[in-house]
Amino acid sequence: MTDREKLKKRQKAIRSRIFGTPEKPRLLVFRSLKHVYAQIIDDTSGKVLLSEKDFQKEEGGKKKEKGKIEKAFKLGERIAKKAEAKKIKKVVFDRRGYLYHGRVKAVAEGARKGGLEF
């Protein structure tokens, strides 16, 4: 089994247990080699409520973060701020088959610091 096939198998197993509702949507984290993306999804209607990426420009021209983990942490904070504006307080965290460390963990910690509960 290749690494890609193993990842797909883990993703399928995780998605069988995790489901986002309108009251408690799913916070999905996708990481590529260079970037990290986060989406808040309502699975009952099949719609993406919010999305954010680590390379999105911020308002006010703030200082750039150094390193992928710091960018991922800021991404978690930004998605939490957007979710708070849409009155979303609780989410289900979907790590999408990735191990809970590094950038995936940083997004979760940033979201928690930003005010999301999961």
Which CATH number fits the domain 3-114, given the four candidates 3.30.420.100, 2.10.10.100, 1.50.10.100, 1.20.140.10?
A: 3.30.420.100
Parallel/antiparallel/unpaired status of strands 26-31 and 36-42? antiparallel
Domain locations along the chain = 3-114
- Asked if 102 and 38 touch (Cβ cutoff 8 Å), the reply is no
Mean pLDDT to the nearest integer, 21-27 = 93
Alpha-carbon separation of residue 56 from 31, 35, 44, 87, 94 (angstroms): 15, 10, 28, 22, 21
Q: Each residue of 60-70: pLDDT tens digit?
A: 556 677 899 99
Per-residue pLDDT tens over the stretch 96-110: 999 999 999 999 999
Of 39, 58, 55, 36, which Cα lies nearest the Cα of 47? 39
Instruction: Write down the pTM of the prediction.
Output: 0.88
CB 94 within 8 A of CB 29: yes
